[in-house]
Structure 1
Amino acid sequence: DRVIVQDRDAEHPAWSPSGDRIAFATRNGRAGVWITTPDAGYVNFVSAQRAEPAWSPDGRTLALAELPGPDIGYNGDPDRVGDRDTQDDFGTTGRLWFVDAPSAPDASPSASSLPSVDRHLRNATAFAAFWKRMDTLYFRQSAPRHERWNAMRTSYESRALAAGSDGLLEQVLHDMLRERPPLRDAATGHAAVSSAHPVATAAGLEMLRKGANVVVSAVGVSFALGVVEPDASGLGGYGQMLVRMRHMDRPVLIEFMSRAPEEASLANGALMRRGGKTLDGPILVNVPGTLAGMELAWKRYGSRKVTWAEIVAPAVRAAEQGFIVSEGLATTLTTEREHFLKHPGARALFFPSGEPFHAGDTLRNPDLARTLRTIADSGATPFYSGSIAKRIVADLRGQGNAMRAADMARYYAAEREPVSSTYRGYTLYSSAPPASGGATLMSQLGSLEQQAAPRSYTEDAATLHAMIEAWKLVPSIRGRVADPGLWPVQLDAFLSKDSARARWRCFSAQRALTPSDIRGDTLPCAKQGTRVSSASGGKGSESECSDHEASAQDQFCHKTGTTAFAVADADGNIVSATQTLGTWGGNFYVTPGLGFLYNDKLDSYASDPDEYGARLPNARHGSTLAPTIVFHGDGVARRPVLAVAAAGNSWITSAVYSVVTGVLDQHLDAQRAIELPRFLLERPSGDAKGNYAIQIEDGFSPDVLRDLGTLGQAFQRISLPGELRMGYAAVVTVGD
């Protein structure tokens, strides 16, 4: 054996029938299909398509079968549909080309001839599958919604059967989705609680009914979520909470991000495994912050009509009496099974029979109930400097973690100024460093504001194009956003209206921006000599597995596991919060007897000690968290109109961006804004030119996608027709 091509990642090799040539595909460098000889006498470029090659019997032609886009990975989306590939009637993959070989690149390609299809049968099958899937996922549980959806079947089925092509059929299904009932009924009242789980929402409402304010309600939600969504957040996690009480001039941000133990700096070589990456386990744990954040919020802004013990009580009940396992938790346990099973504490809690809990099962967690009772009796003190802290440190340090008792005792949650900006007459407040989500949102909106008269981005190509381009023009967080206690934070590039106007000079209504248009601190596409910040400038501030920009191709990365919630009342008191463990399942480790999973953020720092966001002693890590509160107007006359927070790694940015523009620009209610299909800007590592790709959920007009395709926007659909898959959000709107 010998290496004949080593300057690119080769895959899908195919020998010619005569054995004198090898065709192969590449996904990095210049992606495409190539031909070489066994002695590497030449390497010819055959096609720019990302495809798997196969030879014709005479060796004169290559058949190129299009390969699918990169796997988006598990991101907390419940497994409700089974095998997606067998159900995708309108996927963009599956095309076949024939190319002469050898020849000049892409010379005389011809499309394959496929047998004609029974159009009526294909339409009937596709429509029936679409209708049934939507009914099963969203409408069957509600008689009124099911009745409306069933009535729509009659009126749209005849149109679907008459469609003369897949494109026309897809348009019929899209028209049907535009008229469908909401997936859930929007709740209204004097106060509102929005969270990811009914048990947690009930805990928040219980506090409000007892006379507590929105902060107390939010703290109750936080504790309950840590029980019923143990894979997404809890005592071992971290987050940020935005609080606005009626007497405040502006909201305050409570920051409770995790901190690196003092002995866990980059100089500690004992912590490094697999070239710096550890997949799971106790070594990954940073000092948790969630409990400190909740206690600070309660002490500073909570009403005293409900005691601390009463706030924790619903969570204790859920842990002790048990709760129904959700589809999301069941999917996490199945998907991440190999990681959970490595650790006895997690195995005993989530796999007591050797198999994971399934959706609908009852899970009891008496260890967590005991831990929560201790906290209910004595507050956060036992957790950070008492009996619980001793057990945490003894267990983690005994297994290689750098945690000491002093690290736990010195942890504190901090009040910070939220990031703030304006947009079309609204004032927005969002997460602050070390989180970058708020800065990203303000930059997106600052650029989008330059585009007049936005319309529904799912139906209007110009609006969607502008929203995508505004995202491309967001400055890099590298060298700008990190722990403000250790690095000088630089947010002007994100918040300055002058910077937004300068960046928007790059925008073209006729074509999509490419990475070559946006590089360095001086954008080539902007006016010459204008200093503006690009998405590729500055030093790196996050590791490959950070919350910020983890590559979908990175084998060491898991998608971020997060939850979000919002609480508001008619008096203008409002809370928006995001809390998380880092990935779905955190570090997959449970200290025996304590009952909760930990965060995994020790690997979420830059690897160069001179960079922003490096793993220094006591450094708080970065994140894309973006809890947001929006006011209409400015100054003393402004009033709150929206609270939004989201979960889902990079999809946090997508969800908050779509909800904010949906409410402010399209004037949607909270439920319809949540149901807007998401899109996510990505630069897949397999794209040779580094071009942007936009991952999209279904729900965009086929005409819009076709129009933007001609401008150079490249879309990858990641959900089945009608399915909303990514970017869970909690939204509360406040009326006049």
Structure 2
Amino acid sequence: MKTPSRRWLLLVLLWTPFAWAAQPAATTLAKHPDGAAIASGHHLATEAGMEILAKGGNAFDAAVAVSSTLAVVEPISSGLGGGGFFLLHDASTGKDVMLDARETAPAAATPAAFLDKNGNLDRDRSVNGAWSAGIPGLPAALVELSAKHGKLPLQTSLAPAIRIARDGFPVYARMAKGYASRREVMERYPGTREVYLRNGKPIAEGDVFKQPELAQTLERLAAGGFDGFYKGQTGKLLLAGVKQAGGRWTAEELAGYRVKQREPIVFNYRDWKITTASPPSSGGIALASMLQILEGWDIKQMDAAHRTHLVVEAMRRAFRDRTFFLGDPDFVQIPQKVLTSKDYAQGLRATIHPEKATPSDLLSGNPTPLEDDETTHFSIIDGQGNRVGATQTVNLLYGSGLIPSGTGVLLNNEMDDFALKPGTPNAFGVMGYEANAPKPGKRMLSSMTPTFMESSDKVVVLGTPGGSRIITMVLLGVLGYDDGLDAQQVAALPRFHHQWLPDVIEAESNTFDEATIKQLQAMGHKIDLPGNSAAGGRGSSHVWGNLQTVEWNRASNQLSVGSDPRNPVGSGAVSNSP
């Protein structure tokens, strides 16, 4: 073999440094965002968060302001009488944590208490009035956020919500329309009538809606912290109002409520690290299962019908597992490591036919031993890189409809999220068994799925309301970011959903063209189009959800926001990034 000449060696040595010099310099990634971004379901809540940031607060202080303001301006969706999940990232430590502020079951709320004389589920009791309400968690979460994570006093962070409750805000169309649909129930209760009726007439679009009693409740919370809500005057008023409406709360279980700190679900999908909600949310486990099933295919290269088919089959299997395995981790043993593992996902993937739908009854198996558009979400990233993804709710439209007199606090109807009668669907058509049966102090299973995404150069926060559809909307959002869409494009994505039972694809208007519909039907899928429940679904709405997302591009150090265009109140997304 010939040895290289001296000339060739010299050329190599001379060429190499110049070749290196010709390569573009590695991109420098920003360590901190240049500004802050907030996306929420109402502009007043977003403005409240920005106000607190301007006063020197961090993302967690801003979260207190946004959350409490949403509790004032979106009573159809959330409030101090409800609960939620707060996914937090502390930039100084790099630690992620989830604050579980889910409501808890009162001791009196046994499954038998929700059955009628024939042994059937009493729907009125499960969704209306005092019996439908769990012990609220949101006020405790606000106190915890401020005390353990914030920089400002709780009084400062709650000030915008107090001001708006006292001075009022304009009633918007969805709020007035929602009241009209719940009027019969809400006007059963004197405390609710005091808030929502003006000279005997219900609120109307354009009215200035003032809530002086809610402002006073917020002031007591600001001054007294936890005890300012769960004990003292507010506690007494809540207990009296529940008792007057026929319910049975005790002072001990109200004062005994505690926020739980949970380890989030963390897994990888392609080039993304996903951090998301853990039980009693079902969303994180379902999201891990669905994405890791889909990771086995290059869905980006598929036509719309085949991509939808595989996504639906992943949804079907995740919701089947949700039904039988998931509940409050303090009460039931959840096989979380198995359900979130790539090996388990690979096994589920192997049961999917690439060209044919799997009938849901073939996946039924045996059970382990025996939320809707009225939720809200916000996403925040601050200038230090702290971030918050929070989803909060009172469950259905205007919750239970019950406001205990003197409080201004609209109570939730989250008891319907328990499996009150095993195998009987709740208001969202979702079933459950013993894992999600009510017990004293137990937290009902939820679909709320606040989520972080991180790649080599991007950080994303996203989430949405939508009941059982929350999980699949977040899934489609993750896939949208992976496809290279920007924040606003992700927020606007058309949506479809499958939850195992009923065995039907629900879809928004214009999600699928006629050719895709025909292909999916040829594969064996049933499709429930808007306004039509003949396929066995719920008669899909024309639109659903209210996704709120923020994105930090660390390469360009730009923050961008995406606020759902379906939101009738107008954009609640603001970035002050240059």
- For 1:466, which of 310, 318, 330 is the aligned residue? 310
AA partner of residue 653 (structure 1): I
The residue that corresponds to 2:463 in the other structure is: 645
Q: Does 1:593 align with 2:411?
A: no
Offset of residue 359 of structure 1: 2.6
Matches within 5 A, 1:332-371: 332-371=178-217
Offset of residue 613 of structure 1: 2.0
Alignment gaps of 5+ in structure 2? 1-32, 423-432, 533-540, 555-578
Whether the 8 Å contact between 2:121 and 2:420 is mirrored in structure 1 is: no
Q: Does 1:393 align with 2:239?
A: yes
Cα gap change, 1:373 to 1:271, in 2 (>3 Å): farther
Q: Does 1:625 align with 2:448?
A: yes
Offset of residue 596 of structure 1: 1.9
Whether the 8 Å contact between 2:315 and 2:500 is mirrored in structure 1 is: no
Aligned residues: 500
Whether the 8 Å contact between 1:683 and 1:693 is mirrored in structure 2 is: no
Whether the 8 Å contact between 2:121 and 2:421 is mirrored in structure 1 is: no
- For 1:257, which of 89, 102, 108 is the aligned residue? 102
Map Cα deviations across residues 6-54 of structure 1 (whole Å, 9 max, x no partner).
xxxxxxxxxxxxxxxxxxxxxxxxxxxxxxxxxxxxxxxxxxxxxxxxx
Whether the 8 Å contact between 2:100 and 2:261 is mirrored in structure 1 is: yes
- For 1:701, which of 500, 504, 513 is the aligned residue? 513
- For 2:150, which of 302, 320, 335 is the aligned residue? 302
Map Cα deviations across residues 662-685 of structure 1 (whole Å, 9 max, x no partner).
012x11111110100110115676
If asked which structure has higher relative contact order (CA below 8 Å, sep 6+), I would say: 2
Whether the 8 Å contact between 1:282 and 1:400 is mirrored in structure 2 is: yes
Whether the 8 Å contact between 1:435 and 1:624 is mirrored in structure 2 is: yes
Map Cα deviations across residues 231-270 of structure 1 (whole Å, 9 max, x no partner).
2111100110000011334410000111112333346689
Whether the 8 Å contact between 1:572 and 1:640 is mirrored in structure 2 is: no
Q: Take 2:88 and 2:531, find their aligned partners in 1: how far apart are those partners?
A: 34
Q: Take 1:269 and 1:517, find their aligned partners in 2: how far apart are those partners?
A: 31
* Rg larger for: 1
The residue that corresponds to 1:28 in the other structure is: none
Cα gap change, 1:606 to 1:460, in 2 (>3 Å): closer
Q: Take 1:538 and 1:632, find their aligned partners in 2: how far apart are those partners?
A: 37
Q: Does 1:213 align with 2:58?
A: yes
Matches within 5 A, 1:192-203: 192-203=37-48
Whether the 8 Å contact between 1:271 and 1:400 is mirrored in structure 2 is: no
Q: Does 1:230 align with 2:75?
A: yes
Q: Does 1:604 align with 2:434?
A: no
Matches within 5 A, 1:116-131: none
Offset of residue 302 of structure 1: 1.0
Q: Take 2:445 and 2:394, find their aligned partners in 1: how far apart are those partners?
A: 13
Offset of residue 608 of structure 1: 6.5
The residue that corresponds to 1:654 in the other structure is: 472
Q: Take 1:698 and 1:222, find their aligned partners in 2: how far apart are those partners?
A: 33
Whether the 8 Å contact between 2:109 and 2:131 is mirrored in structure 1 is: no
Map Cα deviations across residues 367-407 of structure 1 (whole Å, 9 max, x no partner).
11111112222222121122110111122124322211101
The residue that corresponds to 2:221 in the other structure is: 375
Offset of residue 453 of structure 1: 4.5
Whether the 8 Å contact between 2:130 and 2:246 is mirrored in structure 1 is: yes
The residue that corresponds to 1:669 in the other structure is: 486
Cα gap change, 1:485 to 1:683, in 2 (>3 Å): closer
Map Cα deviations across residues 645-670 of structure 1 (whole Å, 9 max, x no partner).
11011221222111111012x11111
- For 1:577, which of 370, 390, 394 is the aligned residue? 390
Whether the 8 Å contact between 1:287 and 1:408 is mirrored in structure 2 is: yes
Alignment gaps of 5+ in structure 1? 1-187, 522-536, 541-546, 548-558, 634-638, 686-690
Q: Take 1:539 and 1:572, find their aligned partners in 2: how far apart are those partners?
A: 44
Q: Take 2:115 and 2:292, find their aligned partners in 1: how far apart are those partners?
A: 45
Q: Take 2:243 and 2:115, find their aligned partners in 1: how far apart are those partners?
A: 12
Q: CA RMSD in A?
A: 2.5
Whether the 8 Å contact between 1:238 and 1:290 is mirrored in structure 2 is: yes
Cα gap change, 1:403 to 1:391, in 2 (>3 Å): same
Whether the 8 Å contact between 1:681 and 1:695 is mirrored in structure 2 is: no
Q: Does 1:285 align with 2:120?
A: no
Whether the 8 Å contact between 2:103 and 2:414 is mirrored in structure 1 is: yes
Q: Does 1:434 align with 2:302?
A: no
Q: TM-score, normalised by structure 1?
A: 0.64
Q: Take 1:276 and 1:656, find their aligned partners in 2: how far apart are those partners?
A: 32
- For 2:337, which of 492, 498, 505 is the aligned residue? 492
Q: Take 1:243 and 1:517, find their aligned partners in 2: how far apart are those partners?
A: 39
Whether the 8 Å contact between 1:680 and 1:695 is mirrored in structure 2 is: yes
Q: TM-score, normalised by structure 2?
A: 0.81
AA partner of residue 545 (structure 2): G
Q: Take 2:489 and 2:145, find their aligned partners in 1: how far apart are those partners?
A: 30
- For 1:316, which of 146, 153, 162 is the aligned residue? 162
AA partner of residue 441 (structure 2): N
Cα gap change, 1:605 to 1:271, in 2 (>3 Å): farther
Q: Does 1:679 align with 2:496?
A: yes
Offset of residue 730 of structure 1: 1.1
Q: Take 2:531 and 2:459, find their aligned partners in 1: how far apart are those partners?
A: 31
Q: Take 2:148 and 2:219, find their aligned partners in 1: how far apart are those partners?
A: 22
The residue that corresponds to 2:92 in the other structure is: 247
Q: Take 2:350 and 2:120, find their aligned partners in 1: how far apart are those partners?
A: 44
Offset of residue 516 of structure 1: 4.1
User: Which region of structure 1 is more displaced relative to structure 2, 600-609 or 262-271?
Assistant: 262-271
Cα gap change, 1:243 to 1:423, in 2 (>3 Å): same
Structure having the higher helix fraction is 2
Q: Take 2:297 and 2:340, find their aligned partners in 1: how far apart are those partners?
A: 17
Q: Take 1:482 and 1:280, find their aligned partners in 2: how far apart are those partners?
A: 23
AA partner of residue 538 (structure 1): T
Q: Take 1:712 and 1:237, find their aligned partners in 2: how far apart are those partners?
A: 40
Map Cα deviations across residues 160-208 of structure 1 (whole Å, 9 max, x no partner).
xxxxxxxxxxxxxxxxxxxxxxxxxxxx962101100011010011111
- For 2:350, which of 495, 500, 505 is the aligned residue? 505
The residue that corresponds to 1:421 in the other structure is: 267
The residue that corresponds to 1:39 in the other structure is: none
Whether the 8 Å contact between 1:433 and 1:483 is mirrored in structure 2 is: yes
